[in-house]
A and B are shown apart, each in its own frame.
Chain A
């Protein structure tokens, strides 16, 4: 019991050069890539909207939040649909993913403070965990949208 309390499950996915993780209980479903409708004048890291079970759901590109700028072509393979908080409300949003890997059990003590990233990146990477040779970045997905207000 004590062990279970001190670990959490994360869904890991790759996007660009990085490996990201999000708390699995936030994830609703992983969708195949589909037509994303661009929304003119929307904030930069929202690539557009998709139809998810009759609701119109925004699709977020986390790379923009990292200050990488966004690729003009949408080459990602999947959209991870998850719940996130935005201005005090729970909303459903999709996050782009090149490849969805696995669900990982990461004990809390394995989580480390993120290394010096760019200021913008830092604001929404909550923790990092060593994963083989690299790192997995645990996203604070709620902040990913808010940071855009600064942009």
Chain B
């Protein structure tokens, strides 16, 4: 039981420490932000408190001294400078290692004592010997996230002057601007619109009432209307903070009263009649229908804001095994659904078909929801990389900043975890071999400081993660020389530039033999490629001399379920991942030039290489006269795969085959079909590579 509590404490502490790291790195970029200092203080304070509670007395004591320092910063007694951030970062690492190594008590080691001395010295404001050395400040987030301000509601009434249109003002633009600030509900007040014969088509008769919930504050709302000031009636009222704990949804009557649409006496009278308040008030002409509508919109808006607040604050921690189990079960359900669809297709009963179709829709929604639960924004790992860049650039005497974008790109949780090490390798490589020293950069006419950009984005069924630097780029000649030395290519073999670059991903290219997740320097890029391959993704390198290089990772959104194309070869059935399938074309035997597993066909004025899966997989049986080619497109590179027939698309739950099938190249997994039998999933890229290999050798 105790262990369970300890585990919970650890988890919480790690989370807080990660937060702290992010805060500190942001603080380094923007030391003037009091919210950040407060947040850092709170994080340490919480760690200190719970450490004491769970018997981690030693890290607690240590955190206490650190807290004093941050408190001094918070109170303005100590400026937040490099020294403070450095110290706090080091202390953060120390606390983590104490918790990790289960050091719950006992004396501090030398490092901890040194840090405590340093905290005390820093509080007293003793000068920092290192300051002014002009070292690099690493890691600036492109958009540092400020502590969110509380959500505030505003009631905005805007009744523009009749001649508003004359000076080119477009009121709808204003509403769009408001919408950009937060959640907006708008009701148009058209009560002033005259009949058609009286209407001046160039006049603005409409007015708007809007309710906005935003965390940007009153000034931001006022700024929207800055150019229409005096061009109509405008009122902006604050409704106060929306996400206060107390108070449920406001009653309609209260809102109408507040808006001044109704007198108290009339309201009370209407309330007594026990009917829907709105109806009564309108009927008795106490309130105009427009006024009622606006009030109802406000009520709705506030209710929604409230609900959102409740949602936001009620996240639940769930063990990841449970999520995996859920996804497994959904996978089973998807399989069973496919079976039902098939069976109902055979029986051809209308009622059954309708049920099956409806169930199919539900199951696919359920699948998407279940998968989305496992999706996390990739940004959570990015902060780790800031630290890597910061520390390593100092160590190497380089000035490098890390810019990140696309933090909210979502990926399967397990994929994110497994991306961490490859990304660290790539970033380290860029820092080490890509970005030059300040002197070299100045000599090359570049700014002193280099930059590394980490960008994530969605692209169909894959996520692209690009790591680019503005360094010197890859030395193509050196790569070719090294590849020849290591026998990866023939002594006189020349390769197109693009292909030659990819040589660095080949096993045996790098000299580094040992691989460690922590040191990782000079690690072979083949390790990166292997990891990404294992995730079902691919890697690409681009480089421009003197301008820098970019490593792009293409990662499938999820590992568990894919859309597949079911094909038949002889008596056997296979599934090809649909994401890369571009087209299916017919193939007559005569269209293939030459025999053997590989050949070329003409596809849309392009000759593309084709692999005969019947031969690659040694499928027994007669080869039919008319067959089909599945054309795959991998980031612009097309290749074809000959099958006997294409059956159709198929939602597929991927079942791993396990290591005893490691010889089965070209097969990435299996799936259970509707009739309960197993079909294999084709890894077409491997099939292609494998089919080409012996041919290349014999040539």
* Interface bin, chain B: 20 to 34
Q: A56 and B659 in contact (CB under 8 A), knowing A40-B666, A41-B617, A51-B672?
A: no
Query: Hey, which chain A residues are within 8 Å of B177, CB to CB?
Result: none
Chain A interface secondary structure, helix, strand, loop or mixed? strand
Q: A42 and B572 in contact (CB under 8 A), knowing A49-B657, A51-B678, A91-B658?
A: no
The reply on B646 being an interface residue by CB < 8 A is no
Is B672 touching A91 in the complex (CB atoms < 8 A)?
A: no
CA of A119 to CA of B492, assembled, Å: 47
Query: Hey, which chain A residues are within 8 Å of B680, CB to CB?
Result: 37, 39-40, 49
The reply on A38 being an interface residue by CB < 8 A is yes
Query: Hey, which chain B residues are within 8 Å of A39, CB to CB?
Result: 657, 661, 664, 667, 680
Is B670 touching A49 in the complex (CB atoms < 8 A)?
A: yes
Is A42 touching B677 in the complex (CB atoms < 8 A)?
A: no
CB closest residue in chain B, given A53? B332
Q: Mark B210-238, 1 if CB is under 8 A from A, else 0.
A: 00000000000000000000000000000
| Least Cβ–Cβ distance between B644 and chain A, in angstroms | 15
Query: Hey, which chain A residues are within 8 Å of B617, CB to CB?
Result: 40-41
Query: Hey, which chain B residues are within 8 Å of A51, CB to CB?
Result: 672, 676-678
Q: Can you sample 19 A-B contacts with CB below 8 Å?
A: A37-B679, A39-B667, A40-B618, A40-B664, A40-B680, A41-B618, A42-B661, A42-B663, A42-B664, A48-B678, A49-B657, A49-B678, A51-B678, A54-B332, A54-B335, A56-B657, A86-B660, A87-B659, A145-B660
Query: Hey, which chain A residues are within 8 Å of B352, CB to CB?
Result: none
| Least Cβ–Cβ distance between A89 and chain B, in angstroms | 8
CA of A38 to CA of B614, assembled, Å: 13
Is B660 touching A40 in the complex (CB atoms < 8 A)?
A: no
CA of A49 to CA of B409, assembled, Å: 37
CA of A86 to CA of B664, assembled, Å: 16
CA of A51 to CA of B658, assembled, Å: 14
Query: Hey, which chain B residues are within 8 Å of A117, CB to CB?
Result: none
CA of A52 to CA of B75, assembled, Å: 66
Is A43 touching B657 in the complex (CB atoms < 8 A)?
A: no
CB closest residue in chain A, given B676? A51
Q: A37-B677, A39-B661, A58-B657 are in contact. List 4 more A-B contacts (CB 8 A).
A: A37-B679, A41-B617, A42-B661, A86-B660
The reply on A46 being an interface residue by CB < 8 A is yes
| Least Cβ–Cβ distance between A117 and chain B, in angstroms | 24
Is B666 touching A41 in the complex (CB atoms < 8 A)?
A: yes
The reply on A55 being an interface residue by CB < 8 A is yes
The reply on B461 being an interface residue by CB < 8 A is no
Can you list the 3 inter-chain pairs with the closest CB atoms, starting with the nearest? Answer: A40-B617, A37-B678, A56-B670
**A35, A38, A43, A56 interface centre (most CB from chain B within 10 Å):** A56
Is A58 touching B661 in the complex (CB atoms < 8 A)?
A: yes
Taking beta carbons and an 8 Å cutoff, which residues of A are in contact with B? Answer: 35, 37-43, 46, 48-51, 54-56, 58, 86-87, 89, 91, 93, 145
| Least Cβ–Cβ distance between A85 and chain B, in angstroms | 11
CA of A38 to CA of B659, assembled, Å: 16
Is A58 touching B572 in the complex (CB atoms < 8 A)?
A: no
CA of A58 to CA of B655, assembled, Å: 12
Query: Hey, which chain A residues are within 8 Å of B619, CB to CB?
Result: 40
CB neighbors of A among B641-668 (8 A):
655-661, 663-667
The reply on B392 being an interface residue by CB < 8 A is no
Contact of B665 among A38, A41, A49 (CB under 8 A): A41
| Least Cβ–Cβ distance between A105 and chain B, in angstroms | 32
The reply on B616 being an interface residue by CB < 8 A is yes
Contact of B660 among A54, A55, A91 (CB under 8 A): A91
| Least Cβ–Cβ distance between B367 and chain A, in angstroms | 16
| Least Cβ–Cβ distance between A143 and chain B, in angstroms | 13
Is A55 touching B655 in the complex (CB atoms < 8 A)?
A: yes
CB neighbors of A among B550-583 (8 A):
572
Is B672 touching A56 in the complex (CB atoms < 8 A)?
A: yes
Contact of B670 among A37, A41, A46, A89 (CB under 8 A): A37
CA of A49 to CA of B676, assembled, Å: 12
Query: Hey, which chain B residues are within 8 Å of A40, CB to CB?
Result: 616-619, 664, 666-667, 680
Q: A43 and B660 in contact (CB under 8 A), knowing A37-B572, A51-B672, A56-B655?
A: yes
| Least Cβ–Cβ distance between B333 and chain A, in angstroms | 11
Query: Hey, which chain B residues are within 8 Å of A145, CB to CB?
Result: 660
Is B666 touching A58 in the complex (CB atoms < 8 A)?
A: no
Query: Hey, which chain A residues are within 8 Å of B655, CB to CB?
Result: 55-56
